[in-house]
Structure 1
Amino acid sequence: MKTITIEEIIKKFSLEVLSGQDQLHRVVKKSKVRRPGLEFMEKFDFIATEYIQILGKNEVNYLHTLTIEECKMRIGNIVQYDPPCIIITSQQEEPLGLIQYCTEEKIPVLRTPDSMSELSAKLDAYVVKAMAPEIAIHGVCVNVSGIGILLRGKSGVGKSETAHTLIGRGHRLVADDIVVLKKLSPQTLLGTHDENNKEFLALRSIGLLNVVRLYGRAAFQEETRIALDIELTKWEDNALNNELELETKFVEYMDVKIPHIQIQLQPGRDISGLIEAAANNWYLKQQGYSAAEEFMKRIESDIE
């Protein structure tokens, strides 16, 4: 699992450093943040350790009612769980004893004007993505009508050209040539670029294009959840069939199963149109609709 430092979080969210300037190299090891509650009162063995601790208005107001020694004791109940940092929200005044104790214990104390709910949501999303396991694969990632699609195939098969046609139809490029896949959960795979190829699309005989400069912001998307894996392959005679509904096949990336479709290439085939159809059909299946089932019901109804 990847790690991030407190310094990276400070830069990302423009946090104010109240103490622990020499401890900003501390590493965040858990992909969620916590709001202390019972931790203020006593040590509980079942409470997870090493989480960023966030103090909202209720927690800070409670600490303000305590003496310096009492505050140190309550903060000590948090520090014993080894948080990489403590963040005060809503630009509140730090409680008496907090800075002193955390300085002694080498725990950075940070502050933000964001509310507890705002910071928790943003920080959780950022940390989960930043620490997610990831791999880089050769391919193209596009978002078609809100559905993330990974295009794969041998070099020169036409992945980038297909992506360019899809952009012309109003869809969005996410990454060309190198696609970074992040595992956000056992069921969720996120596709994105590697920063170097952000907004760029390479077309044979044409060269490198910046799709945002050429076609506007709507032509590019930073990331997308991968819903379909589509492999573009060379045409093989007698390899295609006309079954009413093909059995769903899957590929796995970091143990996340993604539905897989193979599309064979031949002059005259509208590959971009087929990809649009595949995306829309996948969406209908998620809604519980099957065209094959409806067709068979009509046939059975006619027979009856």
Structure 2
Amino acid sequence: MLKKVTVQNIVETFSLKVLAGEKHLNKTITQSNVHRPGLEFVGYFDFFPTERIQILGTKEITYLHMLSKEERKTRIGNIVHYHPPCFIVNSEEEGLTYLTHHCTEEEIPLLITNHKESSTDFIEKLRLYLSKELAPQLSIHGVCMNVSGIGILLRGNSGVGKSETAHTLIGRGHRLVADDIVVLKKIGLQALLGTHDKKTKEFLALRSIGLLNVVRLYGSKAFQEETRIALDIKLTKWEKDDLNNELDQEFHFTEYMGVKIPSVEIQVQPGRDVAGLIEAAVHNWILKKQGYSAAEEFMSRIESEIENSD
């Protein structure tokens, strides 16, 4: 599912001032990339990305100010003719009457920043915002946590103890991202971002207790807006004959929107430190990413002892 982003969203998120096109802020933005017109000012439009936000920095505005009135009218007129979703100016507001006039005539929103940062920095922030907002996304039932800096998903049947485990992890200094509904966003080809659905932000639902606001109870350190998902952990009910005691447990994978995430199954029963096992799984995953295997080291010690005994 793709989320809809409008010019109004951009205005509100970046506190932009509207110079023209106030009645057309509902225009939809579909591209995460933005564009700074350059070749278009000299009449080359073969590859003009008309669906992108157009950014005019100090360089572009200075160039336009240098042109004659008639030449400027032609150059700007050629661009607004393609009706991009909006123009954003990151320069001084003085002398923009001509641009305001063109955008008003063509019903294109013209916005301006507070000019406290370079155009490059503003573009980077805007691209990051759009790439997240326009990313393909999927909502799943579960809990999302950041444990020791690593994003994890906790899944399992209703009543298995996902939220209770999350509460224990919060008490150990880890952070809640989302409870009950986790929104997954595909960022890039092989990256998943986990976040909340805004309605459940900061809330954790515990059976027999009710709804908790973890920030009000435990402070801002208990919550995180989003995290990159590295591990998928499934909580299942204890099955004695199913318990796996192999020295080296290989990761399986769960796929979300074409992205494969390493998956671990942890069995739950009264008295078992599930939160501690999750911490162990996370730290073990970190070590494996660094190339270390406890099982390999153990077997190496065994082989060394055998060789020394011969």
Instruction: Give the structure-1-normalised TM-score.
Output: 0.93
- My pick for the range that moved more, 284-293 or 264-273, is 284-293
| Aligned twin of 1:176 | 179
How far off is 1:8 after superposition? 1.6
Distance 1:189 1:130 in 2: 13
User: Is contact 2:56–2:91 with CA below 8 Å preserved after alignment?
Assistant: no
| Aligned twin of 1:23 | 24
Structure-2 change in CA distance of 1:74 and 1:245 (3 Å): farther
Structure 2: gaps spanning 5 or more residues: none
Distance 1:297 1:42 in 2: 69
Distance 1:13 1:196 in 2: 22
- Give identity over the alignment, percent: 66
1:43 counterpart SS class? coil
Q: Is residue 2:39 matched to residue 1:38?
A: yes
Q: Is residue 2:219 matched to residue 1:195?
A: no
Distance 1:301 1:90 in 2: 69
Per-residue CA deviations over 1:61-117 (Å, capped at 9, x if unaligned) read: 111111122223322443355421111114443446322222222221110113312
Distance 1:77 1:249 in 2: 55
Describe how 1:135-146 pairs up with structure 2 within 5 A.
Answer: 135-146=138-149
2:240 counterpart SS class? coil
| Aligned twin of 2:94 | 93
Describe how 1:1-304 pairs up with structure 2 within 5 A.
Answer: 1-95=2-96, 97-114=98-115, 115-304=118-307
Instruction: Give the structure-2-normalised TM-score.
Output: 0.91
Structure-2 change in CA distance of 1:287 and 1:42 (3 Å): farther
Per-residue CA deviations over 1:128-173 (Å, capped at 9, x if unaligned) read: 2222222221111111011111101111100010000000000011
Distance 1:268 1:166 in 2: 16
Structure 1: gaps spanning 5 or more residues: none
After superposition, the CA RMSD in angstroms is: 1.9
Structure-2 change in CA distance of 1:53 and 1:236 (3 Å): same
Distance 1:174 1:35 in 2: 36
Distance 1:217 1:150 in 2: 21
